[in-house]
Structure formats: structure tokens, C-alpha cells
């Protein structure tokens, strides 16, 4: 009986961008080769155009930090395709159940209409433009300008913080607390600052007070990179 062929990589368009469904049964090298063909074949011209968010569906596949970087590098061949999330039905790269201790590094600019989400903590090397949103189950660190929306501790973790090189957000959220016009002691938009929950209110301090407010962040031995 002839074997039925199935797509190793399939793409579906949604109102939030593109979803790449990756076969979780094939070898990772074969997966990368299939992804490269998908990005370069005749139908790939349909992927041309303005910047668009890409959500990667991994199924039951576990991916390491190196494998995630390989996927990012492959899609970077088309600069308008911006990976905003990896989704898997299993933990990625051995991430524990404590989202504050899992750190995902992403290098991109989150533009208006885009949403970047991390299961654990997020280190963003880039800016969040007005209209853009970053969300994480743990902390959010933005090495750039935060001028959009940031929501840390999305599953209710009130110890989460939001830090940025330039803090000028349209909205800050930590767990279920919301602050549209953050009040703090720092000079917003000029120095690196962080936001945290003080009681039921979001407060902002300069980064030199971080370890006084969250002393547990001094211990980096528990961090897991994903």
C-alpha cells in the first residue's frame, strides 16, 4: 500500500498572523529542511508583504534553546516574518513549573498590533512600540524602549516585575493589577526602571533598588534558559 504523504510544515492564516504547524514526529534536521523548502518554494511568494506575527505550534515536540534559535534563524531569512510565540503541549527545554525561573531570550521589535508572549520570564532585546504587547508568566526585562503594553505574571504571580531601559508604557499589568499611568519616583523614559506590586498598587523604582525590593533576584543559580 502506498504511504500517504503528509506535510511536515503547514501554515494557516489567522486574524493574529500566521500559525506554523510543525510535525512533532520527524527528526529535527528533517524538520528544518522542510521549513526551508516551505520558505523558498514557488508558493512562498504568498509570505511576502508587511511584517506579520508568526506563532509556532510544536505539538508534543520538546525543543532546546539551540533548536529554538535554529528555527528563529531559519525564519529570519524572511525579515517580515516575526516569531512571537512557541507553543507546545509539553514543557519546552525542561522548563520547571516555576515561571519566574525560566528565561526566554528574544531579539525583535514588537510593533503595533503584535503580541509577544512567553510561558516563563522574558528577556526582550529590542523595543515595544506603541500598540505592541508583551506578556509573560514571569518577569519581563526589556533592553530597549517599552512604549506599549506589558503584562507580567499573567497567571497570577504577584512577585513578577517589569523592567525596561526606557520606561514609557501605555499600560502596565502585573498579575491582575493594572496601571495606565504609572506613578513612581524615577524620571520615566530616561533611566532604566522596574515596576512591581506594592500591596495592590503598581510602583516604579530605579534599577539600583531592584535587589532591595526583590532580593531573590540576586540568586541566578535557579535560572533556566529556554
Q: What is the mean pLDDT of the chain?
A: 83
**What is the predicted pLDDT for the residue at 68?**
84
Task: Please give the Cα distance from 54 to 134 (Å, whole number).
Answer: 14
Report the percentage of the chain scoring pLDDT > 70. 84
> Where does the chain hold its CATH 2.160.20.70 domain(s)?
95-226
Query: 185 pLDDT exceeds 90?
Result: no
Of 77, 80, 85, 94, nearest to 40 by C-alpha is 77
Instruction: Return the CATH fold of 95-226.
Output: Pectate Lyase C-like (2.160.20)
**What is the predicted pLDDT for the residue at 61?**
86
Q: Looking at residues 113-142, what average pLDDT do you find?
A: 92
**What is the predicted pLDDT for the residue at 106?**
85
- Per-residue pLDDT tens for 84-124? 788 877 655 545 555 666 888 888 899 998 888 888 899 99
First to last CA, the chain: 42
Q: CA 184, 188, 192, 197: dihedral to nearest 10 degrees?
A: 30
Cβ contact 71:83 at 8 Å: yes
**What is the predicted pLDDT for the residue at 94?**
47
Task: Please give the Cα distance from 203 to 86 (Å, whole number).
Answer: 31
Which are the contacts of 79, defined by CB distance < 8 A and separation ≥ 6?
A: none
Residues pairing with 195 in the sheet: 162, 204
- Higher-scoring residue by pLDDT: 189, 60: 60
1-93 belongs to CATH 3.30.750: yes
Amino acid at each position: 500500500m502506498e504511504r500517504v504523504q503528509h506535510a511536515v510544515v503547514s501554515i494557516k492564516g489567522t486574524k493574529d498572523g500566521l500559525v506554523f504547524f510543525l510535525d512533532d514526529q520527524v527528526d529535527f534536521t528533517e524538520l528544518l529542511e522542510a521549513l526551508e523548502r516551505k520558505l523558498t518554494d514557488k508558493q512562498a511568494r504568498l509570505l511576502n508583504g508587511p511584517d506579520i506575527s508568526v506563532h509556532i505550534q510544536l505539538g508534543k515536540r520538546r525543543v532546546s534553546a539551540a533548536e529554538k534559535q535554529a528555527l528563529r534563524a531559519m525564519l529570519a531569512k524572511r525579515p517580515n516574518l516575526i516569531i512571537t510565540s512557541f507553543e507546545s503541549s509539553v514543557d519546552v527545554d525542561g522548563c520547571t513549573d516555576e515561571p519566574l525561573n525560566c528565561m526566554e531570550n528574544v531579539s525583535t521589535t514588537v510593533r503595533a498590533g503584535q503580541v509577544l508572549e512567553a510561558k516563563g520570564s522574558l528577556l526582550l532585546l529590542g523595543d515595544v512600540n506603541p500598540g505592541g504587547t508583551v506578556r509573560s508568566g514571569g518577569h519581563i526585562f526589556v533592553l530597549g524602549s517599552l512604549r506599549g503594553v506589558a503584562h507580567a505574571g499573567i497567571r497570577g504571580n504577584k512577585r513578577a516585575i517589569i523592567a525596561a531601559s526606557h520606561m514609557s508604557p501605555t499600560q502596565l499589568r502585573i498579575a491582575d493589577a493594572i496601571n495606565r499611568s504609572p506613578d513612581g519616583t524615577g524620571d520615566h523614559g530616561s533611566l532604566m526602571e522596574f515596576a512591581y506590586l506594592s500591596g495592590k498598587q503598581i510602583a516604579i523604582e530605579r534599577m539600583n533598588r531592584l535587589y532591595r525590593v526583590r532580593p531573590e533576584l540576586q540568586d541566578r543559580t535557579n535560572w533556566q534558559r529556554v
